[in-house]
Structures are given as structure tokens and as C-alpha cells.
Amino acid sequence: MKLIVTSIIFVFISIVGQSKLIENVNFSTTYSGEKTDNSSLSILALGPPDFRCVSVDALGDVLLTWVPVDDPLGDFLEYRIYSEMAGVFNLIGTQTNISNASYVHLGAGANLSSIKYYISTVSNPSGSIIEENSVDTLSTVFLNVVNPSNGTAVLQWNSMVNPQLSTANSYYYIYLEYPLGSWSLVDSVSSTINSYYDTITICDEFLNYKIGLINDLGCESLSNIDGDQFQDMLPPDIPQVNYVTVDTSSGNVIVDWNPTFFQDTYAYIIFQNINGVWSVIDTVYGYNNTSYLNSTSSNSSAQVDNYGIAAYDSCITGNPNTSPVSSSHNTILLTNELDVCDLSVNLSWNSYLGWQNGVDNYKLFYSKDNGPWNLLAQLGSASSYLHQNLDGFSTYKYLIEANENGVNKSLSNISNRYVYQPSQPSFSYLSSVSVVNDNLIEVEFHSDNSIDVYGYDLYRSDDGGLNFNYLDFSNSSVNPIVFVDSDVDADQQNYQYYVSVIDSCNRESTISNISSSILLNASANNGLTNDLIWNSYINWDVGVNRYELYRKVNDVYEINPFVSLGPSVLSFEDDISPYLGSNASGQFCYKIKAVEEPNSFGFSSESYSNEFCANQDPIIFAPNSFTPNGDNINDNWFPLVNLLDFSDYRLYIYNRLNHLVFESSSSSDSWNGSYLNNNKIVPVGVYLYFIEFKNGRGDFMRKQGHINLIR
């Protein structure tokens, strides 16, 4: 059942000369095993209790202790105590006396399992019921005592809270009940540890333990009581471990030790440190059985294993009496790291610990491609070694041998390393060198992009391929990889290029084919032809399929090539006489497109030359007389013009008095022998004409002459 109390308050509180105005505050308190959250309340309420201790008695009842809250205004109502049952917190009791800061949970059953608690403070400032929960939820310490029947008691328990209360002592106290009814402190461990091994010094008794954690409030959190029947006698002497080594054939760990002095030793206990906790992993029976192969819990190729040995005999009542555990000996874990670019392996290993006089030397052995083992180095106290100048694409094995003296040795795991090298691309192909304009050349390159490389370097030659210089770099992985060379005079010379593939070690891996830009030259002949000549495109995979010639007239390229030539043809004479009578300006520009034969990579590329223009001289014919007499024969005078810039054409006709009688800006206009302004017929005589125009190059030109007007 949930109890909800809600109120809206308008109140002014004055405390010790200070005032707080409470406006439109909505308070609600809910409890049915759920912790309430009043963090949104902006009202002066009693704080939560400072929960400090939970202590279990012999019957499993629990004593809870906390620090009383301060109540300067007398608003305290009660403390509420909650306990977790089946995963849900329930109200189990209240305490209405503010000074009584403890509570006993009868019948709690904390001797069976750990129980969680929290405590709240309930107050009613200004008539509003407010419940504030303790910051921490505390658990009873539940102790589990295990008897491994080896002369020790293994104690394990849970933390009261994690992290521990800042007011708690830094140690857990371990208490032992012996004789019956008499408890004594036997040891203490850090409050960060939740386990303890007790060596039994009592031959055959039922021994109980409990754990205590003291708070600076003065209270002590005690665990439940747990115990078992234990035995102990005078133990054998501590076994002396000779070595711990790795069986290189199986990877398992071998532990070897000397027999104890006491020949009544019945067995040896094998301890292993697993994840920071010492655990018993096996027992070896027989006084002279002093070697153990760990085939179940060793992982010598991935971790350092620590081992210790204890010996035990039998108490007079039949329970074994066990020696302390020997000093720890550890395996050697050898690891390696390859520097693929430097062709070296950095070997690292941990020190061997356990020998009284330490390690005299380490010997490092290696085997290449399953060959014999060879001594690589003998070292003192070093824990690393750099093996250099390795052979690529070879497998190396490494092994460390630690030596105490001429007898005791310890072998590490075998550490393997394949010395791979960066993969080489299966192809590297410069597919096109194409002139974009006189100052820009594009180079397209294709490579095997399934291989991880550092990038690609572009090289260029300006002297016909004799010398190449670095030009540009790209790390693109998308084909084609396009380089742009903007430092060229593509209408003056051709350039040669190749691409070098740089592998992941920043070394030159492979070099592409060399290709050259196409340099086109053109010249105009007097016979209305233009001569074209160009160099061949080189080093395509299969070769050139054809050369296509494109022509530009009046600044517009024709859509289709006007001629297609075979791969061995490198010149052509273009007859431009068909353009007479048209508006062709006289400048004819050309480009060559080389088309690749389909290559072995499954595509075909193109390469464009530079643009080169040939300029034909203008052709002008101007009649020297005409007869504007209305007989429709030679009634109009006009010049015949070809191969000039028709957009900038001017015709002027003057009489002998230098008066302008006719002008036109169109080459299609003619003079009919009349005056420019009034259309009257001019008299018979000689007239002077001027024709102004530009040729195809844009050069200004003028032609003049006489006209005889006859009737």
C-alpha cells in the first residue's frame, strides 16, 4: 500500500535571523518498499540519517546503528527502517525517539544470507510530511567459511557497501571462537579484501569465525558466525621449489620441488595464483612425488602463472597437518612485436622470481622456418631484446631460458612470429596523359586498391624521358587516381610521366608504365590546306587503336572527328577550301584524341593533345567597276570576302571630295550607286573604297581600292 501526502504551501520561515520564502511547492512522500526522492523539494526539511553499522548476532538478528539527525525546530516524526525481501524493500519498523539511533531486526535470518537495509527520516516542516532516505544502503556481512581439508580455513564474505563508508575502519577484523564461547582476534585484512586463509593450529575442533568492521561512530558491523570441523598438527617443513617451467611441447606448466625433511609427509598441495587469488588446484600424493604437470588451468602463452607448494601430513586424530606455502615461483611469458617496416622483432619477457639467489642469466634462442634452435643472445637481468635484420616472409620462433645455476632452469613459452611484408599491388597502370589546356595536364592512374598502401608519387620528365623529377602525391584509394599538373606549357613541348606506388612502410613498391602527352603542331599553307603533325602516344598496355582529329571553326569544335587515322599515322593535311563562301574566320584550331585499344584491365582510355591553331590569310576580291543602270546586270557593287572575322567587318566608300557615300558592317550588303543619306544616284566617276576587318588571329587589316561607276 502506498501513502501519498500532497500539499501546496505558501509559507515564510524565519530561522536564526534568516528567512526563506516557500512558494507553490508540491511535496509527496511514498513508501511501500521503494526509496523516495525528494530532491526537487525546495523546503527546509530534516536531512537523512547517517547510516553506519549493521551487525548480526548469533541468532541471525540484525542491529542497525546510525547517527541521530539534528532537529532544531522540532519537526521530527520518526525513523523508518526498510529491509529488502525478494528484491523489494519493505518497511519493517519505525523509531519515534530521535535520540534512539538503533534498531533490532528480530528474525531477520542474516545467518542464512546477506540482507540489505536503508533508513529514512520523516519530518513535517510547516505541516508537510517529508521522508529523506539514507544515502547508503548497507548490507549485512555474510561470511562463508570453507574447509578445503588442507589445514586451512578459507573465509569469504561480501562488502557491507561498495565503496566502503568513509567513516569505516580500513581493516576487516577476523575473529575466531576457541574455546567454545571465547572469541579472539586472529588477524586483520584490508577493507578492500573479502577473503582470508587461516592456517589451522588446532588439531581437531569445530571452529567458528566472524568478521568485524568498526566505524568511527563506535559501532561495529559483525558478520554472521560460520565454521566447520578443522584439524591440524605440527606441519612439515616448507617445500623448496626448484623451478617452474613451461613444457614447450604442450604449453603446459611443470612445477618441480624437493621432498620435505619430514618423511611422514603425506601429500603436497599445489597452489596457483589465478586472477590475483591463490587457489588450490591439485594435490600430489606421496613423499617422493615432487613434480606436477598443470594441464588444466595453465595458460602459459597468454599470462604469467604463479605457483606455490605446501606439504601436509596427518594429525594424530586423522586430519592433515599442513606446512605454510612455499615462496612463489612464476612462469616466464615471452611476447614479441613485429616492426614490419624495420624488419625487426622486439622481444619482451617478465623476470623469473622465486630463486633465492635470483637469475644468473637469460638465454634467448630462436628458430627460423622450423629449423634448429640457435642461441641468439645471453643476457643478464634484461627483459627485452631487439632482433634485427630479419628475412621477410619467414617464420621465427623464440624461447627464453632462465638459469639459476648449472641445474635449475626455467623455460618460457614459445613465441612465434611470421615476418610478413606489405603486399604488392597486382597492377600499377598509368592509363592516360591528357592535355586540358596549355597550362594543365591531367594524369590518370589505376592501381590494385585491394592492397593497403601509403600512397602514390607522380614523376615528370621535361627532357624526353632522360630525367624524372618528383611532382605530386596522392593517397586516394578510388580508381582512377587523377593527378593535375598545372606547371606546363603543353603547346610548346610534351611531357613524360610515371607513378610510383609507396607501400605502407613508405617505401617505393612498384612503378607504372611511362606515358607521354601528345604535342600537336599545325601550320597554314597557301593552297588552302593546313598541315598537322603530332607525336605518338606511348606505352599503353595493348597500344593505340586510332587517332581522331577534331577541328574548331569560329571557336566551336565540330561534334564528331573530321577524320580518324590509324595508330601509325602521325600527320595530316587538312583541306579547308570547302569553307570558302562560308563565315569561317580563317582560324582553324585542332585537337588530337588518341584512343586506346581495349586493355587487359578491362577498359579503354583516351588521351587528348594540346590545341593548336592554323590561320589562313583572308581572301578578298573587290570588282573595280559596275554599271548601276537598272538592267539588273552588274547593278550592285560588293566585295567577295573569305576567311576573316565577319563579326568585325566594315566597308566605307568615298567620292573624290572624300565624302562618305556608303558604309556597311555586313559582308552581305552591296552598294547600288546611291548616296548613303538620301538614296539619290551618285554621278558617274571614280570612287574609293576601304574594307576594314580582322583576320582569324584577330589582327586588324585594311584593304582599299577604286571603283569605276559607269552608266
Read off the pLDDT of residues 151-189 as tens digits, 9 standing for 90 and up: 789 999 999 999 999 999 999 999 999 889 999 999 999
Confidence of residue 478 (pLDDT cuts 50, 70, 90): very high
Q: How many domains does the chain fold into?
A: 7
What value does the mean pLDDT of the chain take?
Answer: 88
Average pLDDT over every residue of 219-231 = 93
Instruction: Inform me whether the pLDDT recorded for 404 exceeds 60.
Output: yes
Q: What pLDDT, in 10s, does the model give residues 545-560?
A: 999 999 999 889 999 9
In a domain, 539, yes or no: yes
Q: What is the pLDDT of residue 20?
A: 28
Q: Which domain holds residue 415?
A: 334-419
In a domain, 152, yes or no: yes
Same domain, 484 and 574: no
Same domain, 603 and 550: yes
Range with lowest mean pLDDT among 212-216, 463-467, 665-669: 665-669
Q: What is the pLDDT of residue 199?
A: 75
Confidence of residue 85 (pLDDT cuts 50, 70, 90): confident
Instruction: Inform me whether the pLDDT recorded for 38 exceeds 50.
Output: no
Average pLDDT over every residue of 192-205 = 82
Same domain, 14 and 134: yes
Q: What pLDDT, in 10s, does the model give residues 347-369?
A: 999 999 999 889 999 999 999 99
Q: What pLDDT, in 10s, does the model give residues 427-459?
A: 999 999 999 999 999 999 999 988 889 999 999
Neighbour order of strands in the sheet with 529-534: 520-524, 529-534, 571-575
Instruction: Inform me whether the pLDDT recorded for 290 exceeds 90.
Output: yes
Same domain, 325 and 359: no
Q: What is the pLDDT of residue 585?
A: 87
Average pLDDT over every residue of 228-241 = 81
Last residue of a domain, one of 363, 385, 419: 419
b (16+ CB within 10 A) / e for 586-621: bbbbbbbbbbbeebeeeeebebbbbbbebbbebebe
CA–CA gap between residue 157 and residue 114 (Å, rounded) = 9
b (16+ CB within 10 A) / e for 343-360: bebebebeebbbbeeebe
Instruction: Inform me whether the pLDDT recorded for 23 exceeds 60.
Output: no
Please give the C-alpha separations between residue 264 and each of 3, 272, 298, in angstroms, as whole numbers. 72, 24, 30
Q: What pLDDT, in 10s, does the model give residues 86-135?
A: 889 999 999 999 999 999 999 999 999 999 999 999 999 888 899 999 88
Confidence of residue 19 (pLDDT cuts 50, 70, 90): very low
Q: What is the pLDDT of residue 98?
A: 94
Same domain, 12 and 111: yes
The residues facing 663 across adjacent strands are 652
Same domain, 531 and 603: yes
Same domain, 37 and 131: yes
User: Which is nearest to 483 in space by CA: 320, 663, 475?
Assistant: 475
Average pLDDT over every residue of 693-702 = 83
Say what percent of the chain tops pLDDT 70. 92
- The CATH number of residue 675's host domain is 2.60.40
Average pLDDT over every residue of 506-530 = 93
Q: What is the pLDDT of residue 619?
A: 86
In a domain, 587, yes or no: yes
CA–CA gap between residue 461 and residue 468 (Å, rounded) = 4
Q: What is the pLDDT of residue 39?
A: 44
Q: What is the pLDDT of residue 232?
A: 58
Average pLDDT over every residue of 247-266 = 88
The residues facing 612 across adjacent strands are 590
User: Which is nearest to 79 in space by CA: 51, 107, 55?
Assistant: 51
Average pLDDT over every residue of 283-300 = 92
With residue 527 as reference, give the H or E element that holds it. Answer: none
Q: Which three cell numbers stand for residue 685?
A: 566617276
Instruction: Inform me whether the pLDDT recorded for 146 exceeds 90.
Output: yes
Same domain, 577 and 694: no
In a domain, 361, yes or no: yes
Same domain, 301 and 316: yes
Confidence of residue 264 (pLDDT cuts 50, 70, 90): low
Confidence of residue 345 (pLDDT cuts 50, 70, 90): very high
Last residue of a domain, one of 182, 207, 231: 231
**Does the predicted TM-score (pTM) go above 0.85?**
no
Q: Is-contact 601 448, C-beta < 8 A?
A: no
Q: What pLDDT, in 10s, does the model give residues 557-590?
A: 999 999 999 999 999 999 998 998 788 888 899 9
Same domain, 639 and 703: yes
Q: Which three cell numbers stand for residue 135?
A: 544515502
CA–CA gap between residue 526 and residue 226 (Å, rounded) = 121
Instruction: Inform me whether the pLDDT recorded for 37 exceeds 80.
Output: no
The more confident residue out of 374 and 46 is 374
Instruction: Inform me whether the pLDDT recorded for 474 exceeds 60.
Output: yes
Q: What is the pLDDT of residue 315?
A: 59
Q: What is the pLDDT of residue 11?
A: 29
Q: What is the pLDDT of residue 614?
A: 93
Q: What is the pLDDT of residue 18?
A: 27
Q: What is the pLDDT of residue 605?
A: 96
C-alpha Rg value of the chain to the nearest Å: 52
- The CATH number of residue 393's host domain is 2.60.40.10
Same domain, 13 and 133: yes
Q: What pLDDT, in 10s, does the model give residues 299-340?
A: 888 999 999 999 987 655 556 678 899 999 999 999 999 999
In a domain, 1, yes or no: no
In a domain, 236, yes or no: no
User: Which is nearest to 28 in space by CA: 9, 15, 13, 11?
Assistant: 9
In a domain, 465, yes or no: yes
Q: Which residues contact 43 (CB under 8 A, 6 or more apart)?
A: 9, 22, 25, 27, 125, 126, 128, 130
Same domain, 382 and 436: no
* Residue pointed to by grid coordinates 547517527: 67
CA–CA gap between residue 667 and residue 675 (Å, rounded) = 19
In a domain, 2, yes or no: no
Last residue of a domain, one of 139, 165, 183: 139
